[in-house]
Structure 1
Amino acid sequence: METLTEFKASLSLPEPQSGLSVQLKSLWYDGKGDWQKAHAEVDQLSDKASAWVHAYLHRKEGDIWNADYWYSRARQTRPDVSLDEEWEQLVQEFL
C-alpha cells in the first residue's frame, strides 16, 4: 500500500492487509471505528511512532491529559487540526 487513498479503500476489507506496521494497523482499526482494537495495538509499546498514534487515540477519546503525555513521549505537540486531519497525517507519515 502506497497512498492514503489505497489505505482508505482497504477499510472496506474485513481485516487489515498483511504487512502493515503496528502503527498503520492501529490506524486501520481506528478508521474502521474500532477504538478498542486500535488502542490494543499500541497500548504496550513505548517507541516514538507508537506513542504518537497512542496520543492521537487518547485525543480522540477526549482524554487530553493522557493524550498530551503520549504526545510528549512521541516528542510531538498536540496538533491544532481536526481528528480526521490528524488521522490522515499519521497514515501518510507511516505509509
Structure 2
Amino acid sequence: MTVFCMAFVIFELFMIYWFAQGVVDESINVGTCIGLSNWYEADVKTLKMLQLMMIRSSRRLALRVGPFYDMELDVFLKICKMMYTVVTVFKRNL
C-alpha cells in the first residue's frame, strides 16, 4: 500500500510540473506568434496592444512555488533524485 501511495504522489507531482513546463514553453512562443500574424492589417489601437504583448512576452511566464523556485521539469528531476537519495540513506541505516 505504501508503494502505491508513493507512486501516486510521484505521478501527481510529475503532472503538476509537466503542465507548469507547458506554461513556460508556451509563454516563449507568444511573441513569435504575434510576429507571424497579420499585425500590419490591424488598426492603431490593436497595434499598440500587440506591441505591449510582445514587450511583455520577452520575459517568460512561470509558476512559482512560494518565493523559492520556478516549477519546471528540471526541478522535478532534482526532487526525484533527492527523494531517491533520502530513501536509500534511510534504507541503508535500517
Larger radius of gyration: 2
The TM-score with structure 1 as length reference comes to 0.23
The TM-score with structure 2 as length reference comes to 0.23
Higher share of residues assigned strand: 2
